[in-house]
Structure 1
Amino acid sequence: MPSPREESPGSRPGDEARALLVDAAHPSPARVYDYLLGGKDNFAADRIAADKIEEAFPAIRIGAQENRRFLLRGVRYLASQVGIRQFLDIGTGIPTPPNVHEVVQAITPSARVAYVDNDPVVMVHARALMTSDPRGEVGYLEADVRRPEFIIGSRLVREVLDFEEPIALLMSAVLHFITDDQGPERIIRTFIEALPPGSHVLATHVTDEHEPRLRSATARYRDDGVRTRPRSAAEFERLVFTGQGLELVPPGVVLVSEWRRDPAEPPPPAPAQVSAYGGLAVLPPGAPSGA
């Protein structure tokens, strides 16, 4: 199987190694998430940060697992029920099988997936683990969600994805890292305006509506240099979906544990243990495309 295309801002010998050394001293959302999911691709700083969050919000691992299940259900639905063949995964994180391209290429072998993350550790593992079905294609771009114009305009994304055909934009567990002063509406609008009609947007977002202790966990994460902004269901829906002219797919914005849950899955945890909303919406036919 072919290795993924990749594009990184570092180009000089040793840049990647130096980036990893510097990055190891501070927690990274991608690596903290990996640790919470039971992965081994994380550093001491990530484990310390995650343990602090877990002290304040003991159900954090349950929430992370439910968020992951929602993502996989969503991409299966998009590939099998909607027929989407292209995926742009923003904030992909460290590869955790099954990955998005493995799920969708099992349904549509010619599917194409562009992964985006700003953690250089993710790049290393993407190179080693993210191999595509030869009938499809996988690419990885090292970039920050806060630079949507760079992502949409990058050579890699444009080579992997055809912006004349519907694309599924995935933003799982990333939007709560965009605080209000960083212009989340503009960032999301820039992504959506580049999509052709018929495209879909899948997103999840942390909330403190069901578990007040999550506010303390957020403060502890901020103490480690990672800013987050939990949002209510109404704020999340307006920010990502209805405020952007999208049409929500039933059941709309709900807890990630409640969205089209597979009967084979165990019963959903209590809302306070999940504390994350998810939703999927479509860019209606006839909507203008900015591509």
Structure 2
Amino acid sequence: MKQGSSMAGERRWIPENLDPARPSPARIYDYALGGGHNLASDRAVFEQLEKIQPNTRQMAWSNRAFMRRAVVFMVDSGIRQFLDLGSGIPTVGNVHEIAGKADPACRVVYVDVEEMAIAHSRLLLDGVPNTAVVEADFARPGDVLDHPETRRLLDFGVPLGLLAVASAHHIPAEVDVYGAFDRYREVVVPGSALAISHMTADFERVQAKQMVETVQAIAHNPACLRTRSEITDLFGDFELAEPGLVPPSKWRPDISHTSGGGEEDGMWAGVGVKVRRP
């Protein structure tokens, strides 16, 4: 199906009072993935990004594929509940669909602070069992962890999957991102896991700074590009599962990648596991 083709028909997902001229990072990402929950303003920004970085769409797909593999890894590890931090728009191929294929009883709480992403999410997940949408800034863990919907759906006494996929780079440098992740890691029990993918300027093949500056100028969305070492610190004392922190396409790929080093992904990605300490 052609990107955005559903826009001509079903429009139930569009919230009232939405300003169509204001781009949304969540909808830009949706368009990059070939989704139908985006507007002309979002597609215009994406076209600018493609001029800067021609493989922008492939970058988005590599990141989404990493998320799928990370969720499957967690499910295979026995995890049946998930907290998705900075979830954006939960369109096709998101956490509840991936986990639900393995076990329909899996529970997912989606968290985002962007008003438009929340509005879209609530419409899309209306009537979907074992899911909830929490409007909160995940850089403020108390607002997320103490939210009634989080407490209703998740049990912090059993292993939980934390996901921060392409979201932590939206936390600006002046905010204590490490303190926030410390709190999330503290409240989960051993056997829990944390998946992170994060944009970086470490790779010369990706014009990450120019891409971020373009989105910031148009959508007024903050961002912070962090180094491999800085992203590793977000995992704290969680043990990184093999192959460690790598570009998304190189994290346990479904097929053998025989060419390229994954630098074109423009991100570092990995999954850490909380182990029981003596």
Q: TM-score, normalised by structure 1?
A: 0.82
- How far, CA to CA, are the matches of 1:268 and 1:159 in structure 2? 46
After TM superposition, list the pairs within 5 Å mapping 1:11-50 onto structure 2. 17-18=16-17, 20-21=18-19, 24-50=20-46
Query: Is the aligned partner of 1:277 residue 2:268?
Result: yes
Shift of 1:28: 2.0
Q: Which shifted more, 160-169 or 85-94? A: 85-94
Residue in structure 1 matched with residue 117 of structure 2 by the alignment: 122
Letter in 1 for 2:221: V
After TM superposition, list the pairs within 5 Å mapping 1:155-234 onto structure 2. 155-210=148-203, 211=205, 213-224=207-218, 225-234=220-229
SS in 2 for 1:192: helix
Q: Which shifted more, 83-92 or 137-146? A: 137-146
Post-superposition Cα deviations, 1:164-188, rounded to whole Å, max 9, x if no partner, equal 1111000000011112111211221
- How far, CA to CA, are the matches of 1:255 and 1:206 in structure 2? 10
- How far, CA to CA, are the matches of 1:120 and 1:179 in structure 2? 18
Letter in 1 for 2:107: R
CA RMSD of aligned residues (A): 2.2
Post-superposition Cα deviations, 1:27-85, rounded to whole Å, max 9, x if no partner, equal 222111111112221233322322222221221111100000000011011102x0101
After TM superposition, list the pairs within 5 Å mapping 1:260-275 onto structure 2. 260-263=252-255, 271-275=262-266
SS in 1 for 2:138: coil
Post-superposition Cα deviations, 1:79-98, rounded to whole Å, max 9, x if no partner, equal 02x01011001122222222
Q: Is the 8 A contact 2:246 2:270 kept in 1?
A: yes
Residue in structure 2 matched with residue 7 of structure 1 by the alignment: none
Shift of 1:286: 4.1
SS in 2 for 1:32: helix
Shift of 1:266: 7.3
Shift of 1:205: 0.5
SS in 2 for 1:169: strand
Residue in structure 2 matched with residue 93 of structure 1 by the alignment: 88
Letter in 2 for 1:274: D
Letter in 2 for 1:251: P
SS in 2 for 1:231: coil
Unpaired stretches in structure 2, ≥5 consecutive residues: 1-14
Instruction: Label 1:201 to 1:132 Cα distance change in 2 as closer, same or farther (>3 A).
Output: farther
SS in 2 for 1:235: helix
SS in 2 for 1:205: strand
Instruction: Label 1:258 to 1:197 Cα distance change in 2 as closer, same or farther (>3 A).
Output: same
Instruction: Label 1:157 to 1:55 Cα distance change in 2 as closer, same or farther (>3 A).
Output: same
Letter in 1 for 2:125: M
Residue in structure 2 matched with residue 8 of structure 1 by the alignment: none
Residue in structure 2 matched with residue 246 of structure 1 by the alignment: 238
SS in 2 for 1:88: strand
Query: Is the aligned partner of 1:71 residue 2:67?
Result: yes
Post-superposition Cα deviations, 1:187-224, rounded to whole Å, max 9, x if no partner, equal 21222222222211001011222225222222222222
Letter in 2 for 1:216: Q
SS in 2 for 1:182: coil
Query: Is the aligned partner of 1:56 residue 2:56?
Result: no
Q: Is the 8 A contact 1:131 1:138 kept in 2?
A: no
Q: Is the 8 A contact 2:201 2:208 kept in 1?
A: yes
Residue in structure 1 matched with residue 138 of structure 2 by the alignment: 145
- How far, CA to CA, are the matches of 1:218 and 1:124 in structure 2? 24
- How far, CA to CA, are the matches of 1:271 and 1:261 in structure 2? 11
Q: Is the 8 A contact 1:56 1:214 kept in 2?
A: no
- How far, CA to CA, are the matches of 2:213 and 2:121 in structure 1? 31
Percent identity reads 33
Unpaired stretches in structure 1, ≥5 consecutive residues: 1-15
Q: Is the 8 A contact 2:199 2:208 kept in 1?
A: no
Residue in structure 1 matched with residue 7 of structure 2 by the alignment: none
Q: Is the 8 A contact 2:53 2:206 kept in 1?
A: no
Instruction: Label 1:154 to 1:50 Cα distance change in 2 as closer, same or farther (>3 A).
Output: same
SS in 2 for 1:180: coil
Q: Is the 8 A contact 1:31 1:94 kept in 2?
A: yes
Shift of 1:117: 1.7
Q: Is the 8 A contact 1:60 1:273 kept in 2?
A: no
